[in-house]
């Protein structure tokens, strides 16, 4: 290729985002740099700064992708009530790929220190609450999101196994459902 000629690579931006997610998954957010993302994506360092002027831009893209990849099925199945469905969903999220759940929470919690991530985290909370509001009122939907996040964080931080009956009971209480006999 002649000097100064650019290679057409329409997937490069996406490869950089995917690489950033892998780096954060392996090394945490502290391990992410333009250099580490470029090395993981096998692209020149200048490609990362071309597509993402700073690390916050790259983290925003990674968080958006993590949010989009997670499209929870919030609707009850068969004879499930909403508490059953949400307890099942938490089990599926935590059992399917714990590393992925840890990565998503790390990106999500990074918004505490990185204001650029806050709008994306807020969009995520609102989208889940909006989906839950189709099954209950908006205030209860937001409370359910908070409880579900709390349960996930407790499981991820303590390495305790997920207890679906406990989660179901807590979610049922928020929903005002009668206790199971």
- Give me the residue spans of the domains in the chain: 12-66, 73-175
Alpha carbon distance, N-terminus to C-terminus of the chain = 73
Q: Are 53 and 5 in contact (CB under 8 A)?
A: no
pLDDT value, residue 101: 81
Give the domain 12-66 fold.
Answer: Arc Repressor Mutant, subunit A (1.10.10)
Residue 2, pLDDT score: 45
Burial of residue 103, with CB atoms counted within 10 A of its CB: 0-12 exposed, 13-18 middle, 19 or more buried? buried
Ordered per-residue pLDDT tens for the chain, 181 residues: 444 445 677 899 999 999 998 998 888 888 999 999 999 999 999 999 999 999 999 988 988 887 776 666 667 788 889 999 999 999 988 887 777 788 888 888 888 888 988 998 888 889 889 989 999 999 999 999 999 999 999 999 998 899 999 999 999 999 999 887 6
Instruction: Give how far Cα 77 sits from Cα of 85, 88, 132, 143, 163, Å.
Output: 7, 10, 15, 22, 20
Contacts of 80 (CB under 8 A, 6+ apart): 88
> Which CATH number does 73-175 carry?
1.10.357.10
What does the pLDDT read at residue 5? Answer: 46
pLDDT at 66: 78
Phi, psi dihedrals of residue 78, rounded to the nearest 5°: 50, -120
Fold agreement between 12-66 and 73-175: no
Alpha carbon distances (Å) from 88 to 11, 31, 93, 95, 124? 35, 33, 9, 10, 20
pLDDT score, position 136: 94
Identify the pLDDT of residue 72.
Answer: 62
pTM of the full predicted structure? 0.78
pLDDT at 65: 84
> Using CA atoms in the order 52, 54, 58, 61, what is the torsion angle rounded to 10 degrees?
-80
């Amino acid at each position: 290729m002649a000097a100064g000629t650019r290679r057409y690579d329409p997937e490069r931006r996406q490869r950089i985002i995917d690489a950033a997610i892998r780096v954060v998954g392996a090394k945490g957010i502290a391990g992410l740099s333009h250099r580490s993302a470029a090395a993981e994506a096998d692209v020149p360092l200048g490609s990362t700064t071309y597509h993402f002027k700073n690390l916050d831009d790259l983290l925003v893209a990674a968080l958006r992708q993590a949010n989009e990849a997670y499209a929870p099925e919030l609707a009850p199945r068969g004879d499930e009530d909403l508490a059953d469905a949400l307890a099942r969903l938490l089990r599926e999220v935590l059992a399917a790929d714990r590393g992925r759940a840890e990565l998503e929470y790390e990106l999500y919690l990074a918004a505490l220190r990185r204001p650029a991530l806050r709008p994306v985290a807020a969009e995520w909370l609102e989208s889940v609450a909006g989906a839950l509001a189709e099954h209950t009122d908006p205030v209860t939907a937001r409370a359910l999101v908070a409880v579900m996040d709390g349960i996930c964080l407790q499981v991820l931080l303590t390495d305790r196994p997920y207890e679906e009956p406990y989660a179901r009971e807590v979610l049922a209480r928020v929903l005002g459902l009668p206790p199971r006999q």
